[in-house]
């Protein structure tokens, strides 16, 4: 039986030399910049949901499992 392991961008950031060596991959932005962009996007989405809820719309918020 074959197992699959989830791999994220954060995992690649932990091993940049390995990613470059094995895949020829180099990051375009730093881990700090990636985190900043993710938090900014999450905040933007939270503000959109709050706006819709204030105006009477049902908002289903997706969550990760």
Residue extents of the structural domains in the chain: 29-65
pTM: 0.59
Percent of the chain residues topping a pLDDT of 70: 78
Backbone φ and ψ for 30, nearest 5 degrees, come out as -80, 165
For residue 17, is pLDDT > 90? no
- At 2 the pLDDT is 60
Give residues with Cβ within 8 angstroms of 19, minimum separation 6: 12, 25, 26
Higher pLDDT, 4 or 54: 54
Higher pLDDT, 55 or 11: 55
């Amino acid at each position: 039986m074959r197992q699959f392991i989830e791999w994220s961008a954060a995992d690649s950031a932990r091993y940049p030399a390995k990613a470059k060596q094995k895949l020829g991959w180099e990051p375009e932005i730093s881990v700090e910049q990636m985190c900043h962009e993710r938090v900014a996007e999450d905040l933007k989405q939270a503000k959109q949901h709050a706006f819709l809820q204030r105006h009477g719309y049902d908002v289903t918020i997706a969550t990760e499992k």
